[in-house]
Structure 1
């Protein structure tokens, strides 16, 4: 191989930033599709389009080279973290936190097998799964990607899932046509950063290894072929550059012989490095750089450093050798193009009844009964009400990493064909027993009701946007419905959809029964399998789920436990009645400090909406296009994946960020904004509140091409009234990138007249 082609094997770009000409020229070792990338720029693309692109990548990377050098096909990796979750119509299994509650190793093998087959049908070779983080702080936005806070449970379930995805390494099924390459991630201690994504796991190294490193031992024994390195740090040292742990622990002590890959531009976070220039990561033990956008510059810098001897040829050959051994183990050199493989293009595999039945089984095994005052199971001959905005919402019940990276947003049930909502599952079960389930999302119905099931919980999220300052569940929709039904004398069942345990004592106190249903995925009927009994009230399935995380009694970061690890009631052994403390200091505390509206993502309890004339529409997580079509918010990368928003206007529109009701403003409040202006606005652009406006057009024109700018402007510039709304408005064409927007205490650094 030429040096140029060796360097290409060490680079992993995103499909959104490459052409097939690039694939043929640079001979990448592998490519990936990020959470918001899809064929032709369409992250909602149907399965056949993914297979078409897989064929194109195979053909471009297999194009003949000179007679002295063989062609080496590229591998394609995806984040299939709860099923082949980028593909509309795929089976969506419950997220890992739910599978931890199920605690069933055989089930994990079968889930891995089903997921692998669906991935292989689309021609993709590799999944960045499973996550074997041991999450120790539920505020972390990736808690639901962790099986448990218990190291041993994570180790067992992770190894079982790897065997399902790759096949048994001791059998002929290993990496055969129905299996794919798996990845154990993120090495290591990503779950030990005190709730901060990409944070620092600090403490005694031996203890950190015992808690967070141990799951990699059975993962390696199960034959995992690749390990993804964590964004996070260990005692202040970024893992992408941590040679003692990447080599000494992972290689020498654990005996891992496979390929290590980076996370999204994670190498660029090393001191002295950028996304396009970082020899230190390779020297520390990273084999492949995940560099979605800056791959061309990284290629050039690595090539120059190899020629200069900054990176020894021995190290390059070592990393390339690992990539080639992986491809040989996978049989890539003898496989035909993806569409000609055994299951390539077999669309009956995607979302098959057999796979959906496994997912349904996983849902019912994952449900955890926290309380039951004789309400459950419900007779299927009864007449019940099913309420809550989440009751008939397959997008919401599936959580993050569903078709798109963060999930939710503009996704609808049309993007999840074949999925069954919690309500639809309940309605079908009630009908079988001669009863009736009335959908009343807002709680309004007529006639009698023998019971009410209220489905509520978190909105979808993934990392960054999912991090929290505390554990208080603030959305009071479910609480209001429970109180309403209780006042009417109707027995209530709370079904809580969440990616982590949260402080829900108020809801627990109002409900007669409470079920932690996690993020069940596409097969909502699994909830009904356990909650709805026969016509005479006998249970069809009992609760078997046990908490894989302790449940907090308080709402702050550190709390005593209300329900311990391993807790879970059943019909055979009902949970004991208890009293709940319903006061939470985080709910009542005044906001004396910074109030973030947008910071790496839309802040908790801030609503984004766009008004244009008479049209008004919400933009969940500040992403998507307004109903008027004149405003679009897109995720862009500044310091991390999609941690900023590109705001674009093509006509008149007002972006309004609505503060949480009752938010107390800090003294001498000011607006702090961090932004980038790439082009002159074609119309006026203003900061707005519900009491005034401030024209910033001249300021934006002066800021064009000057990179990131920060300004603090007195809130009084927008009027004397304490605002309930802050935002931006344009009369026509305009564009600005927002990195953060907040209300802060202290004096403004810029005048109302600008520039700033």
Structure 2
């Protein structure tokens, strides 16, 4: 058979390289910034460091929102505010966004130095506060595609539609390590693996910012939340984490380091505290590491009210004024205050008192103004409405649909029950079956996504998509349960008995941040009972998990014939799922997280060997589904794993190839995941680590050879003195069911195997 050799994402990788290397020379911008700063008063400088929410400058009467003339005048002409963010509790259409941004920038043009305002928004899976926009799957679902090109394209479209809303600054991507399943923001992450996060993060940043962030189709990315936000000890949002420096550098820091290399212009700071130190108060994290080691030169902005919380919550500042002093001296450039002007007043006083040096102010303001120049705001503070004919287009919708289709993860398919036949009688039931909230999740039109059923009324829920796919006459619907209680379960059971198959949709409604905190990872008793009662009918159950985090579903899942994880798929998720259920699309998603079996057994796949258990321990690593799990309607075979040399040395590259064949009857996509394990090291090595991946499309009978290149840097780890090293020793490669070993021989680091 002819082998087709492929170069992994060569076109896409060239785009990444170009975006990182072909930036405009910035010396001219630096000079412009220096000239402008020389003209500024202290008050004007501190104003640039102040960010307020739109409520501060707006009024809403009888549901009608508008910029208040007196409030915006106070914000700009008195306090010289440099940034505004957010919306009130509803989405705006593009026309209203034009009016809002135009009014703000017109007021800025009246100020002495005419410095434009930079407006920011959380467009984390599309422009979430603009009606008619294209909403993509949330990051956790995008990660499940294992397809950087899809993520890049989604970023590009999101940037286009954000600029079409006249907003140049996007508070995305989330680069937090999705390590704790309890954490309510895990769906905003690219999963639990550092390599997956950093590569997906770099891809979407490149999509957001393009080769020229100043053009009318791109926005400034904001990598967040620096650092260690995603692993709170309690699993609750904005609560303490305990992370040794070595672990921080091994698992949490790499995505941010990669984002800096990709050119991210801005950064948002972790709201929590690590080892008792709030990040907003950590000069080590914000200056020594971020600036000194990563060489980040963009804006570091706080999250919501977080300087204030240094006093109110963390209790490390005796007064609010002390909180401002500590945060700014630590390295904060801009404060998301966001409701009033206390930060401004305190900071002016602190500079006059000599407690915050003017050099720190000038440094912060330089970064802020530089980003404004880079975005082209001094030349074009408001976009042209006619420049965005593709906003909300069918072309963009198809990209979202394709992303949702590639994200859906088939976890179980007993006796090949899926795909279903279109002439079957289907009962659709469960609390996530007929609501857009369980497709979109939080940050969808509103902060909590609680109005998705209104704003996305023209999109299909899971129920509606199935009805359209096979006809309403073949579909019955009974809710069976809400998210927390039973609802007409007897009617659901009756309907099940009359059906050929049950599509049981369980999971979560929309939420984010502290509103999404839970005390129990177990799915509610009502949802589990619904599964149990339906199982008694003897009809096969197709379990659909529409959720933002892996709730414990072990009992319900044991009763299913097939199980699909849909995450929060965005507006096209219902159609994508229906296509997969009935065979018009072939699933190809893989879990970007480890799905736990029990509520107190939360171990990530890159566990230590001690966590695997031993013959006397029945409670070792035993997840319901491991990171990387994902089935297809076809089958794939791996063979001919080959390495270019048996020994890898300093400054060398190891080429790894493997043949992948579609051994089934349907065309399908396969995510090829490269794992490498070090067998022995001075720090207990992880059982295995993802070191590369690619996604390929194979026709029945077709074979492709996938190639990866590995350098010693790619298999390094952080040792007990927080130094990144690659130690000599034996390494195991795993690609599918193929394994092979190679040795790394270092000129400086001794072997831990005793073999070399």
Q: Give the 5 Å matches for 1:691-706.
A: none
Name the structure 2 match of 1:103.
146
Question: In 2, are the aligned partners of 1:94 and 1:520 still within 8 Å (CA)?
Answer: yes
Residue 80, structure 1, aligned to residue 123, structure 2: yes
The 3 A distance-change label for structure 1 pair 483 and 206 is: closer
Secondary structure at the residue paired with 1:292? coil
Report how far residue 448 of structure 1 moved.
4.0
Pick aligned residue for 1:12 from 51, 56, 64: 51
The 3 A distance-change label for structure 1 pair 246 and 567 is: same
Report how far residue 572 of structure 1 moved.
2.4
Q: Distance in 2 between matches of 1:274 and 1:461?
A: 33
Name the structure 2 match of 1:635.
none
Name the structure 1 match of 2:217.
178
TM, length-normalised to structure 2? 0.69
Q: Distance in 2 between matches of 1:522 and 1:142?
A: 19
Q: Distance in 2 between matches of 1:394 and 1:516?
A: 16
Q: Distance in 1 between matches of 2:452 and 2:246?
A: 47
Q: What CA deviation, in whole Å up to 9, does each residue of 1:349-400 have, x standing for no partner?
A: 4432122211111111111112111221011232322222321211232111
Q: Distance in 2 between matches of 1:468 and 1:414?
A: 26
Pick aligned residue for 1:207 from 224, 233, 247: 247
Query: If each structure's helix is expressed as a fraction of its own residues, which one has the higher value?
Result: 2
Report how far residue 24 of structure 1 moved.
2.6
Query: Which structure 2 residue ranges, 5 or more long, are not aligned?
Result: 1-39, 58-70, 311-315, 481-491, 604-620, 637-756
Name the structure 2 match of 1:21.
73
Q: Give the 5 Å matches for 1:546-561.
A: 546-556=590-600, 558=602, 560=621, 561=623
Residue 253, structure 1, aligned to residue 293, structure 2: yes
Report how far residue 429 of structure 1 moved.
2.2
Question: In 1, are the aligned partners of 2:431 and 2:507 still within 8 Å (CA)?
Answer: no
Q: Distance in 2 between matches of 1:275 and 1:146?
A: 32
The 3 A distance-change label for structure 1 pair 441 and 92 is: same
Name the structure 2 match of 1:440.
478
Name the structure 2 match of 1:658.
none
Q: Distance in 1 between matches of 2:225 and 2:513?
A: 13
The 3 A distance-change label for structure 1 pair 551 and 127 is: same
Q: What CA deviation, in whole Å up to 9, does each residue of 1:427-446 have, x standing for no partner?
A: 22224xx9833333332549
Name the structure 2 match of 1:566.
628
Q: Distance in 1 between matches of 2:257 and 2:103?
A: 37
Question: In 2, are the aligned partners of 1:89 and 1:417 still within 8 Å (CA)?
Answer: no
Report how far residue 282 of structure 1 moved.
0.8
Residue 281, structure 1, aligned to residue 323, structure 2: no
Pick aligned residue for 1:329 from 374, 396, 399: 374
Q: What CA deviation, in whole Å up to 9, does each residue of 1:544-576 have, x standing for no partner?
A: 1111111111122646412111111222249xx
Name the structure 2 match of 1:728.
none
Question: In 2, are the aligned partners of 1:387 and 1:481 still within 8 Å (CA)?
Answer: no
Report how far residue 309 of structure 1 moved.
1.8
Pick aligned residue for 1:493 from 539, 542, 550: 542
Report how far residue 424 of structure 1 moved.
2.0
Name the structure 2 match of 1:59.
106
Q: Distance in 1 between matches of 2:222 and 2:278?
A: 20
Pick aligned residue for 1:127 from 149, 167, 170: 170
Q: Distance in 1 between matches of 2:437 and 2:362?
A: 45
Secondary structure at the residue paired with 1:183? strand
Secondary structure at the residue paired with 1:17? helix
Q: Distance in 2 between matches of 1:475 and 1:349?
A: 45
Secondary structure at the residue paired with 2:515? coil
Q: Give the 5 Å matches for 1:264-663.
A: 264-270=304-310, 271-272=316-317, 278-294=324-340, 296-338=341-383, 340=384, 343=387, 346=388, 349-373=390-414, 374-408=416-450, 411=451, 413-431=453-471, 436-442=474-480, 443=492, 445=495, 448-477=498-527, 479-523=528-572, 524-533=574-583, 540-556=584-600, 558=602, 560=621, 561-573=623-635
Question: In 2, are the aligned partners of 1:469 and 1:557 still within 8 Å (CA)?
Answer: no
Name the structure 2 match of 1:681.
none
Q: What CA deviation, in whole Å up to 9, does each residue of 1:641-665 have, x standing for no partner?
A: xxxxxxxxxxxxxxxxxxxxxxxxx
Residue 143, structure 1, aligned to residue 186, structure 2: yes
Report how far residue 469 of structure 1 moved.
2.9
Name the structure 2 match of 1:710.
none
Q: Distance in 1 between matches of 2:518 and 2:381?
A: 47
Q: Give the 5 Å matches for 1:674-685.
A: none
How many pairs does the alignment contain?
A: 545
Question: In 1, are the aligned partners of 2:437 and 2:509 still within 8 Å (CA)?
Answer: no
The 3 A distance-change label for structure 1 pair 274 and 125 is: farther
The 3 A distance-change label for structure 1 pair 508 and 412 is: same
Report how far residue 107 of structure 1 moved.
0.6
Query: Which structure 1 residue ranges, 5 or more long, are not aligned?
Result: 534-539, 575-756
Question: In 1, are the aligned partners of 2:267 and 2:299 still within 8 Å (CA)?
Answer: yes
Question: In 2, are the aligned partners of 1:27 and 1:74 still within 8 Å (CA)?
Answer: no
Name the structure 1 match of 2:84.
31
Q: Distance in 1 between matches of 2:500 and 2:253?
A: 50
Secondary structure at the residue paired with 1:201? coil
Question: In 1, are the aligned partners of 2:173 and 2:221 still within 8 Å (CA)?
Answer: yes
The 3 A distance-change label for structure 1 pair 267 and 24 is: closer
Report how far residue 275 of structure 1 moved.
5.5
The 3 A distance-change label for structure 1 pair 275 and 92 is: farther
Q: Distance in 2 between matches of 1:118 and 1:420?
A: 22
Secondary structure at the residue paired with 2:236? coil
Secondary structure at the residue paired with 2:558? helix
Q: Distance in 2 between matches of 1:407 and 1:506?
A: 29
Question: In 2, are the aligned partners of 1:240 and 1:284 still within 8 Å (CA)?
Answer: yes
Question: In 1, are the aligned partners of 2:226 and 2:270 still within 8 Å (CA)?
Answer: yes
Q: Distance in 1 between matches of 2:602 and 2:224?
A: 26
Which moves more between the two structures, 348-357 or 225-234?
348-357
Question: In 1, are the aligned partners of 2:427 and 2:496 still within 8 Å (CA)?
Answer: no
Report how far residue 48 of structure 1 moved.
2.1
Q: What CA deviation, in whole Å up to 9, does each residue of 1:554-599 have, x standing for no partner?
A: 122646412111111222249xxxxxxxxxxxxxxxxxxxxxxxxx
Q: What CA deviation, in whole Å up to 9, does each residue of 1:713-739 have, x standing for no partner?
A: xxxxxxxxxxxxxxxxxxxxxxxxxxx
Question: In 2, are the aligned partners of 1:84 and 1:90 still within 8 Å (CA)?
Answer: yes
Pick aligned residue for 1:190 from 223, 229, 232: 229
Question: In 2, are the aligned partners of 1:31 and 1:75 still within 8 Å (CA)?
Answer: yes
Report how far residue 181 of structure 1 moved.
1.0
The 3 A distance-change label for structure 1 pair 174 and 520 is: same
Name the structure 2 match of 1:236.
276
Q: Distance in 2 between matches of 1:176 and 1:274?
A: 43
Question: In 1, are the aligned partners of 2:407 and 2:589 still within 8 Å (CA)?
Answer: yes
Which moves more between the two structures, 557-566 or 326-335?
557-566
Q: What is the Cα-based RMSD across aligned positions, in Å? A: 2.2
Q: What CA deviation, in whole Å up to 9, does each residue of 1:595-618 have, x standing for no partner?
A: xxxxxxxxxxxxxxxxxxxxxxxx
The 3 A distance-change label for structure 1 pair 463 and 446 is: closer
Report how far residue 52 of structure 1 moved.
1.1
Report how far residue 319 of structure 1 moved.
0.6
Secondary structure at the residue paired with 1:572? coil
Secondary structure at the residue paired with 2:564? strand
Q: Distance in 1 between matches of 2:525 and 2:434?
A: 18
Q: Distance in 2 between matches of 1:462 and 1:9?
A: 29
TM, length-normalised to structure 1? 0.69
Question: In 2, are the aligned partners of 1:470 and 1:557 still within 8 Å (CA)?
Answer: no
Which moves more between the two structures, 315-324 or 444-453?
444-453
Name the structure 2 match of 1:165.
208
Q: Distance in 2 between matches of 1:275 and 1:222?
A: 36
Report how far residue 481 of structure 1 moved.
4.0
